[in-house]
């Protein structure tokens, strides 16, 4: 039996008049019965990162054109796959998971930004941290030993190539900003197989705000002033990224273009019921995915779906879809 896995695109469908909000899913790591790392004076990772996440959400809420979405708002546990599902359901444009982890060596220090690795971990520390984070579901009482799920996640991985490039671009800008207030563990965006980053078609980052196992960093991370500074630098980095590459139909794109839509085609495609667009027919071939078609024709998957009234990314060989005429 062939198992069909539906890959859900997460660019928002709630677009109005080319000025939609950019939705940022903010994931505070751990929570509830899973405290995460415990550091200096029993400082708990789950508490520190929730405060940073809430401050980041506050900053985004106050910024025109942005809408934050928190995967958890209190001290409770959310399974790893549920976190990314929540981001998809919220139509997130970016997923950021915030952590303050520990390493075997208490001298390990510095902030880091990770993206999903296609090959393997880029360092011993990143491999160790990914293994620890991926075990979190077992602490939360949810078994990860599900063969069908692993098949599903493998198939979903195939759709991540496009979003990984965006993840790296956003990660570099955020890491640069974090370096203004914190020593960096590595001066480049690192790679590791964090399960929470397996969010198809959403640029996804995991941010380590510091090592809570390092007494000096734990002291800083426990203070409200440092938590706010960290949130502000993450905020600056991600807004810088979205100003450079704003999603079509967003308020930020509208503002960047001087209050005008880039083209009539973009203007129309981004609306719920596109009208007056010159289109051409495309017949789905074996091996096609909406992500590949979107890349080839320089259009977002969300806009293809909107143009054709498609509610998911499930397509059939021989199916005819409309694409904007070049």
What pLDDT does 127 receive? 47
Q: How far apart are CA 225 and CA 237, in angstroms?
A: 19
Query: Over the chain (326 residues), what is each successive 10-residue block's mean pLDDT?
Result: 34 51 94 85 92 98 97 93 85 90 81 71 45 44 34 39 76 96 90 58 85 92 97 98 92 87 42 55 87 78 80 83 80
| Cα–chain center distance at 26 | 8
Minimal CA–CA distance to 222: which of 25, 37, 77, 71? 37
What pLDDT does 89 receive? 85
Give the CATH class of 22-244: alpha beta
- CATH code of the region 263-324: 3.10.350.10
Collapsing DSSP states into helix, strand and coil, what is residue 99?
strand
What pLDDT does 67 receive? 97
Domain ranges of the chain: 22-244, 263-324
What pLDDT does 260 receive? 61
Task: Give pTM, 2 decimals.
Answer: 0.66
For 13-69, give the DSSP string: S---TT-BPEEEEEEE--BTTB---B-GGG-BHHHHHHHHHHHHHHHHHHSTTEEEE
What pLDDT does 37 receive? 84
What pLDDT does 236 receive? 98
Q: How far apart are CA 205 and CA 189, in angstroms?
A: 10
């Amino acid at each position: 039996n062939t198992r069909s896995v539906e890959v859900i695109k997460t660019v928002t469908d709630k677009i109005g008049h080319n000025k939609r909000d950019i939705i940022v899913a903010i994931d505070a790591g751990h929570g509830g019965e899973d405290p995460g790392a415990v550091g200096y004076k029993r400082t708990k990772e789950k508490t520190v990162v929730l405060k940073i996440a809430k401050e980041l959400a506050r900053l985004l809420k106050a910024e025109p054109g942005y809408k934050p979405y928190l995967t958890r708002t209190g001290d409770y546990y959310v399974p790893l796959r549920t976190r990314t599902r929540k981001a998809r359901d919220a139509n997130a444009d970016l997923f950021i998971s915030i952590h303050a982890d520990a390493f075997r060596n208490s001298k390990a220090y510095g902030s880091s930004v990770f993206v999903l690795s296609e090959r393997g971990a880029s360092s011993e520390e990143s491999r160790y941290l990914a293994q620890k984070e991926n075990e979190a579901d077992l602490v939360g009482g949810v078994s990860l030993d599900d063969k069908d799920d692993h098949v599903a996640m493998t198939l979903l991985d195939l759709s991540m190539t496009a979003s990984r490039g965006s993840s790296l671009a956003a990660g570099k800008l955020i890491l640069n900003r974090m370096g203004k207030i914190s020593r960096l563990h590595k001066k480049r965006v690192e790679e590791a197989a964090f399960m929470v980053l397996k969010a198809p078609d959403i640029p996804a980052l995991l941010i380590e705000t510091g090592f809570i196992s390092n007494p000096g960093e734990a002291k800083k991370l426990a203070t409200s002033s440092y938590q706010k500074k960290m949130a502000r630098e993450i905020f600056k980095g991600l807004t810088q990224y979205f100003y450079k590459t704003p999603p079509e139909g967003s308020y930020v794109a509208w503002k960047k273009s001087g209050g005008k839509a880039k083209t009539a085609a973009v203007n129309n495609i981004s609306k719920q019921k596109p009208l007056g667009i010159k289109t051409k027919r495309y017949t789905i071939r074996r091996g096609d995915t909406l992500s590949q078609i979107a890349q080839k024709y320089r259009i977002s998957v969300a806009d293809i779906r909107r143009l054709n009234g498609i509610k998911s990314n499930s397509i059939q060989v021989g199916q005819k879809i409309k694409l904007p005429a070049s």
